[in-house]
């Protein structure tokens, strides 16, 4: 064992991205493919978007396949990883992008909404992380998705932020459990980011207020988040067990 483990070059790395057909997920798939990774685009409800993304990546000389899987279903997730291994020979990077955000004051919260977020944001991240812990090769990386709302604590975000607080805990503990495997485990916590998920139901006044929260005076864009993921997925071998806030300085 050396002081610094040898890491497989990006062109030989394989990345599984859950929620890969969504706004941030698409940007992550494109960025990792541009960096040389083979990409497995997981989707649940957007097959056309996933197929188009795969065609775009392969049309630019990259490697990509699409695999449908419910991240909350352990059999689907096992099949997702098996498809990655069958197509590309193994898995080096897992990015848990899949998630939903449903907003409500606590006093008015429909518990069915809480259960939906629990299944995707908490159970889904656990199921994928469990499979990743079993299969990711030495030198690999697991990147979970949290949210800056855990720290910012805006009204109506309680259930969503609570689900992502669970992701934070999972991330910190899994990083320690993988001692000796040379696998990093980190989370990215975006702030307000211009995606359909985030903008849905917000008027221009609300969007303007959120954009003004950052000292950089704009909303994030998916490429901003993909850049952080690419850092954690490849060169950031000495960043481990951390939650990185990618929010333009919002506190």
Predicted TM-score (pTM) of this structure: 0.92
The structure tokens listed for 190 are 């975006």
Residue 70 to residue 196: CA distance in whole angstroms: 20
E strand map for the chain: 14-18, 38-43, 63-68, 93-96, 141-145, 184-190, 243-246
Is 43 among the residues known to form the active site? no
Q: Whole-number mean pLDDT of the chain?
A: 93
State the pLDDT confidence band at 6, using cuts at 50, 70 and 90: low
Share of the chain above pLDDT 90, in %: 80
Residue 136 to residue 183: CA distance in whole angstroms: 8
Q: 10-245 belongs to which homologous superfamily?
A: NAD(P)-binding Rossmann-like Domain (3.40.50.720)
DSSP summary character for residue 136: P
Cα dihedral 28→118→71→219 (10° resolution) = -10
Where are the chain's structural domains? 10-245
State the pLDDT confidence band at 2, using cuts at 50, 70 and 90: very low
- C-alpha to C-alpha distances, 203 to 22, 155, 159, 200, nearest whole angstrom: 21, 16, 21, 9
- Please report the pLDDT score of residue 50 as a whole number: 96
Of 68, 1, 23, nearest to 41 by C-alpha is 68
State the pLDDT confidence band at 4, using cuts at 50, 70 and 90: low
The residue annotated as part of the active site, out of 43, 157, 160, 245, is 160
Residue 32 to residue 102: CA distance in whole angstroms: 28
Residue 209 to residue 45: CA distance in whole angstroms: 31
State the pLDDT confidence band at 105, using cuts at 50, 70 and 90: very high
Mean predicted confidence (pLDDT) in 134-144: 97
pLDDT digits (tens, 9 = 90+) for 194-211: 887 777 777 888 888 888
- Residue 85 contacts residue 91 (beta carbons within 8 Å): yes
How many residues does this entry show for the chain? 251
- Higher-confidence position of 3 and 228: 228
Looking up tokens 């503990």, which residue turns up? Answer: 173
- Residue 137 contacts residue 91 (beta carbons within 8 Å): yes
- Please report the pLDDT score of residue 11 as a whole number: 66
- Residue 128 contacts residue 96 (beta carbons within 8 Å): yes
pLDDT digits (tens, 9 = 90+) for 22-51: 899 999 999 999 999 999 999 998 899 999
| 122 φ/ψ angles, rounded to the nearest 5 degrees | -100, -65
Mean predicted confidence (pLDDT) in 67-88: 98
pLDDT digits (tens, 9 = 90+) for 164-181: 999 999 999 999 999 999
């Amino acid at each position: 064992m050396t002081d610094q483990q040898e890491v497989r070059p990006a062109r030989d790395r394989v990345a599984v991205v859950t929620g890969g057909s969504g706004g941030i997920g698409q940007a992550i798939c494109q960025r990792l493919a541009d960096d040389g990774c083979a990409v497995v685009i997981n989707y649940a409800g957007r097959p056309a978007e996933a197929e188009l993304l795969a065609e775009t990546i392969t049309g630019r000389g990259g490697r990509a396949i699409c695999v449908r899987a419910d991240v909350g279903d352990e059999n689907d997730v096992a099949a997702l990883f098996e498809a990655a291994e069958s197509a590309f020979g193994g898995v080096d990077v897992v990015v848990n992008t899949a998630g939903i955000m449903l907003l409500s004051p606590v006093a008015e919260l429909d518990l069915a909404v809480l259960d939906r977020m629990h299944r995707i944001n908490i159970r889904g991240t656990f199921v994928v992380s469990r499979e990743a812990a079993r299969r990711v090769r030495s030198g690999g990386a697991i990147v979970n998705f949290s949210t800056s709302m855990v720290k910012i604590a805006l009204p109506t975000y309680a259930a969503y932020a609570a689900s992502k607080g669970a992701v934070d805990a999972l991330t910190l503990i899994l990083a320690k459990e993988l001692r000796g495997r040379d696998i990093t485990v980190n989370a990215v916590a975006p702030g307000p980011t211009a995606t359909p998920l985030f903008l849905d139901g917000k008027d221009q006044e609300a969007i303007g207020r959120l954009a003004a929260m950052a000292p950089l005076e704009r909303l994030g864009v998916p490429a901003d988040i993909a850049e952080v993921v690419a850092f954690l997925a490849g060169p950031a071998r000495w960043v481990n067990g951390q939650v990185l806030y990618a929010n333009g300085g919002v506190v």
